[in-house]
Every structure is written in structure tokens, then in C-alpha cells.
Amino acid sequence: MNSNFGFIPIASQFIKTEEELLKIAGKYFSSLKNLGVERWNEENLDIPNPLIYFIITGGTENLFLNLFKKRTKFVKDEPVFLIAHPTHNSLPASLEILAKLQQEGISGKIFYISSENDLSTFENIKQNLTNSKTNLDLKKYKIGLIGSPSDWLIASSPDANIVSKTWGPEVISIEMEEITELLNILNKDEIKDYYNSLVNKARSINEPTNEDIINNIKIYLALKRLTEKYKLTALTIRCFDLVLNIKSTGCFGLSQLNDDGYIAGCEGDLVSTVGMLWSYKLLNQIPWMANPVQLDEVNNTLWLAHCTVPRSIVGSYNIRSHFESGIGVGIQGTFSNDKVTLMRIGGSNMEKIWLAEGEIIQTGNSEHLCRTQVEIKLSKGNVSELLNNPLGNHLILTKGHNSRELYDYWSNYINIRK
């Protein structure tokens, strides 16, 4: 058994048969199963996935403690989730259990299900399980830092230990020279396949030459080799060194890696790459990392721009040059006017967060900004906060209004680590 989520029912010695157990709580078991939460037993305590303890009756406090002690041999530092229901002294037992846990500094939460049709509580359970799984998963991930953070990221260059302590992932340092070494041993057939896909799906090709496009694809393939070599879930690269040293760019490479399911951030920005990885795993949304380049405090709008964007999240794209240097390849994508969430993490220990929601109101094509450009009008949050209390340069955009899910995770797993 290896379901993503599990629950274990705990009943007193007076419940002697499975039939009696199901008569009390079977209707709730069915609702949990519909959410993808499978029934486990004591043999499943070693599964490192989120677990709920369903307190069926009173008199179960010590039964719970025995199970919990066994669980901690396999999974440590997870919040304790308890389910209570309206009968058989389930709620008072749950209250006693959580009080004991909190006395010992263990975080936990009780979900009180009023009936099998209590949809809001069941959805709350599912979201909390998703948060817990994301937290566990982040501790398994590796982020490759290729080169050092760009020199201008003076507020976005945390120590690797801070990344791991606050958010979970391990940071693997990789020398830029590994990229250049890989560029010389690539399979020409692979280059051709990606060349055809990139060029044939583009709305137009402006400045880049065929050689520029081929060189960008080579960089993508080299980056992909590094993800495989170091078993990375995400990476970020000091990409302006590519511009200066080999007269090419990583814009297509980062775009394609994100579409492949490997989170890829620009400029060696570890903070934003962590934010991208977190939002991707929590929301199952491919994020976009971009610069806030203009804002209007009166109308509560801002423009975001960057020279790369995952092609899967835009309706169409043009192949352009890189804005600042005028060389290589940049991706100029066109977003639809969707609802979006903006997010930035930061602080000396990466413990702070800024969240806002709004809607894209137009796509831009200014020749004075990075290639992909969108204007967003905020409906939740205020652009003035960026001027008064910025957490750094880049912002992360995801489609849909997701601030509640992001804030809920942050408040339960990051804010408590301050």
C-alpha cells in the first residue's frame, strides 16, 4: 500500500468488531476514500506520507499515544492531524490528545466532521494533507545552484543552510564549467528535435539566427544532463555568464526545463527558485518568474517582464533576442487575461512572504523591457507594499487565485520557524 494519504481509525476496547466500527464511522470512511485518503493500519505506519488519526470513540487517548510513538520511529516532525465526529465521545478524546501534544511542543490540528456531508471540512482535510505532503517532499528535493547568484541579487543570495533549514531542499553547488564541457558532447539528433518544436510553434522569429537557436538548445540539453547527473528537482543558473562568456543565453533552456517538470530559475536566484518549486509542488501549477518593472499605486496595477517564460503557460510566443544584451534567444510569450496570484518569499531566513491576487489585463510589447510582458490589476493586496516593504526583485506568478492555499502552508510550516 502506498497511497498519498492515509487514516487510521482508533476505537476503544468496547468496539469489538469491524461491523460495530463501521456502524459508527463507516459513512465518514467512504467520504475520506472519495478524497483519496485510504484506510491504513498499524503495519502502514512506516509509509512516509501524511497520516490522519481518526478518533472513533472516547477512551482512546493512550491507544493514540502508543500509535504515535511507533509512527515517530519512521516519520519525524510531522504535524498531527486528528478527526473527531459528533458521537461516542470522539471530540472530548481528541481535545485531550491535542492538549497533551501541545504540552510537549508538538503541533497538531483537530478536524471536526459534523456529518458525512460536511464538504468544507473534508476539503480542509485534503488541503492540510496536501500541505503536509509538500512539506515532506521539499525535504527530499535537491536544487542545483550553477555558478553563484548574480552580483545584483544582494537580498536574494541566502546561505544553503538557510534554504534547507527553512524550506527543506538541499542546495547542490555546480561549477559553470560543467555547462561548457557538456556543450561539446551533445547528440545532434536531439538538437534537431527541439529545434523543430521551438521554431515551428513560434508565431515569428525576429533577431535570432539559426546558430543562436541551436546554441540555446545546446544549453538546454546541457542543463538537462546536469539535472540527471545530480538528481535535481530544480536548478538556477548564473545565466548572464552565458551571455558574457559564450555569447548565448539560457532563456529557452529554463523555459523548456519548467515545461519538463524541472523547476528552473534565472540568475542564480535561490530565493525565487525555492518559491517556484514550492508553488509548483503545492498547486500543481507551472510558475513564471519575472521582474516587477512598473507600477501604478492609484490604479493598483503593475507590469511584470522577463526574457523567458514556460511555453506551456502562454497562448503563443515569438522568438526574440535577449533584451539587455541583444544576443541569443529570448522568449516573448503572450498570456491570456487570466486570474493570477503573485508571490515573493524573502527575509534574512527566507521566512517572510508577500502575496497578492489579481488579473492580467494586457500583454505588452515594449522594446524597452524584457520580452514577455504583462500588466496585472490587483484585487487583493496592494502594489504600494512592494515599495514600502520589498522582499527582493523577482516575483512568482501562478494562474488562478491561490493565495489562501499558499498562506495556509506558509503559516503552518514556515512562520512557526521564525
Burial of 48 by CB count in 10 Å (0-12 exposed, 13-18 middle, 19+ buried)?
middle
How does DSSP assign 205-269, residue by residue? E-S--HHHHHHHHHHHHHHHHHHHHTT-SEEEE-THHHHHHHS---HHHHHHHHHHT-EEESTT-
CATH numeric code, 142-417: 3.40.275.10
**Is the CA virtual torsion 38, 41, 42, 43 positive or negative?**
negative
What grid cell was written down for 403?
493565495
How does DSSP assign 263-318, residue by residue? EEESTT-HHHHHHHHHHHHHH----EEEEEEEEETTTTEEEEEES---GGGSSEEE
Q: Are 179 and 300 in contact (CB under 8 A)?
A: no
State pTM to two decimals.
Answer: 0.91
Assess whether pLDDT exceeds 60 at residue 2. Answer: no
Q: Which residues pair with 357 in a beta bridge?
A: 341, 380
Does the domain made of 5-138 have the CATH classification 3.40.50.10940? yes
Average pLDDT, the chain: 93
pLDDT for res 296: 97
Q: How confident is the model at residue 188 (pLDDT cuts 50, 70, 90)?
A: confident
pLDDT for res 255: 97
The residue whose grid cell reads 500509535 is 67
- The secondary structure of residue 67, as a DSSP letter, is H
Rounded-to-integer distance, Cα 44 and Cα 21, Å: 19
Domain ranges of the chain: 5-138, 142-417
Higher-pLDDT residue of 187 and 111 is 111
How much is the average pLDDT of 182-210? 89
Burial of 20 by CB count in 10 Å (0-12 exposed, 13-18 middle, 19+ buried)?
middle
Query: In one letter, which amino acid is 89?
Result: N
Rounded-to-integer distance, Cα 186 and Cα 200, Å: 22
How much is the average pLDDT of 281-288? 96
Assess whether pLDDT exceeds 90 at residue 190. Answer: no
Sheet with strand 37-39: strands edge to edge:
37-39, 5-10, 51-55, 80-84, 108-112
